[in-house]
Amino acid sequence: MMPSPPVRRISADRPAGAEELSPFFLTCLVRHRMLLRQLTLREVRARYQTTSLGIFWAFFTPLVTLGIYTIVFGTIFKGRWMVDGEAVDGVFPLVVLCGLTAYNIFSESINASTRMIIGNKNYVKKVVFPLEILPVASLLAAIYFALIWFLIAIVGVGVMLHQVHVTALALPLVLVPLIFLSAGLCWFFASLGVYLRDVPHMVNILLLVMLYMTGIFYSPGILPPLYQRLVYLNPLAVIVEQVRRVLIFGQWPDWWGLAGLTVVSLLLAQIGYTWFIRTKKGFADVI
């Protein structure tokens, strides 16, 4: 059993959240960076702690997934991907893997956040603890495992397309708006999940809708113009497309579009953080 992160105990009549709070989420994360690191490592270790092969599964799972996609989409269905109105052969399994990996960062972190506070009642009632870093730790753990999937995708590009693009170096920048967007929604749903216990079920349905609105298994280019515009109103769909550009097609991201999306996601992260800070004072009463 892993030890819990160090926390400072207080009297029972002092509400959780009585510690000094930062109004800006980046300041909060920097202030609690060591505790955040410990929580993230705990999340990562807990994933495969009880298994015999441990972290090996983090590599084995994406390899098997890529193999299945290659057989099903590449060999049986002979899937073709549309790029700028032209069909590209041989990349369908890779584009599905890249899209699904980016989506998993979003879906896994948000899904976990809905039960994050409820599942850590001891931090809410008995200690002064920065509850706002709990959803972020779950997000960082999801990113850790997603990076392994992206590494497998890059290897797959090298094996199947016989080249690895230098544009893959831009992947961290492409993931920045995804991280901010996911963090903001994690804070929002983590708080909402305390007051409304139906939230996990609602989020599962919303994530299923997002899966098919993001263009994971189809190219938005095959849709009529009106539906294409609707798909690209989804910021996750734009991020997924940028991931595929830099990893598979050897294209640099749309820098202006990426900058605009980063600003919007940064704003959404701040809104989610502010919502969490203002609502966390009532967690102890509800739980």
Per residue in 134-166, pLDDT tens? Answer: 999 999 999 998 998 899 889 888 888 888 889
Q: How confident is the model at residue 17 (pLDDT cuts 50, 70, 90)?
A: very low
Q: How far apart are CA 77 and CA 73, in angstroms?
A: 5
Question: Mean pLDDT in the chain?
Answer: 83
Digit-coded pLDDT (tens) for 173-223: 999 999 999 999 999 999 999 998 889 899 999 999 998 888 888 878 777
H or E element, residue 128: strand 127-128
pLDDT above 70 coverage of the chain, percent: 84
**73: part of which helix (H) or strand (E)?**
none
DSSP H or E stretch at residue 42: helix 33-48
Q: What is the pLDDT of residue 269?
A: 95
Q: What is the DSSP secondary structure assignment for residue 118, as one 8-state letter? A: G
Whether residue 82 contacts residue 88, with contact meaning beta carbons closer than 8 Å, is answered with yes
- pLDDT (average), residues 11-19: 42
Q: How many residues does the chain have?
A: 287
Q: Is residue 87 helix, strand or coil?
A: strand
pLDDT in tens, 34-53: 999 999 998 888 877 776 66
Nearest to 100 by CA among 77, 73, 136, 76: 73
Q: In whole angstroms, what is the distance from residue 89 CA to residue 69 CA?
A: 14
Q: No. of H helices and E strands in the chain?
A: 12, 4
